[in-house]
Amino acid sequence: MTSKVVYLGALRTECTHLKSGNAFITDAPTDNNGKGLAFSPTDTVATGLASCMMTVMGIKARDLGVDMTGTTSEVTKIMASNPRRISKIEVLMNLPFEADDKTKKILENTGRTCPVLYSLHPDIEKAITFKWM
C-alpha cells in the first residue's frame, strides 16, 4: 500500500504517505462547494505533473553532471464541466542554470516523457514551456 486517505469531514481529506509518514490536507475548491484552504485533489494532480517532470529531469541532470537546484515550475490547472474534470494543465518551468543546446534538449525531452504525463488522460491538454535563464 502506498498511502492512506482519511475523510475529515467538511470536504477535507488527510493524505498520508505510509513509508515516510508525511501527510498533507486537501480541501474542495471554492468553485466546487469548498473553502479552498488547501490543495484540491485536482490541484495535486496538476502539481504532480510538474513535480514528476522535475524529478526525472533531476535524475538525468545528475547523470549529465548538471545541477538543477533552484529550478521552479509555475502550474496552472484549468477545469471544464459536464463532466467536471481537468481540461488543461500549463507548466512553465524556469531553469536558472547554464546548459548547452544538447543538454537542454535532453532535459526537456526527459521532462516531456515523465510517468505522470504518460498517466494523464489524452484529452487533458498539456502546455509545457521551458524558460532557460
As to burial, measured by CB atoms within 10 angstroms (0-12 exposed, 13-18 middle, 19+ buried), residue 93 is buried
List pLDDT tens digits, range 2-31: 999 999 999 999 999 999 999 999 999 999
Mean pLDDT, residues 115-126: 98
- Class of the CATH-defined domain 40-132: alpha beta
List pLDDT tens digits, range 63-112: 999 999 999 999 999 999 999 999 999 999 999 999 999 999 999 999 99
User: Pseudo-torsion of CA 58, 64, 67, 70, nearest 10°?
Assistant: -40
Q: What is the pTM of this model?
A: 0.95
Domains in the chain: boundaries = 1-39, 40-132
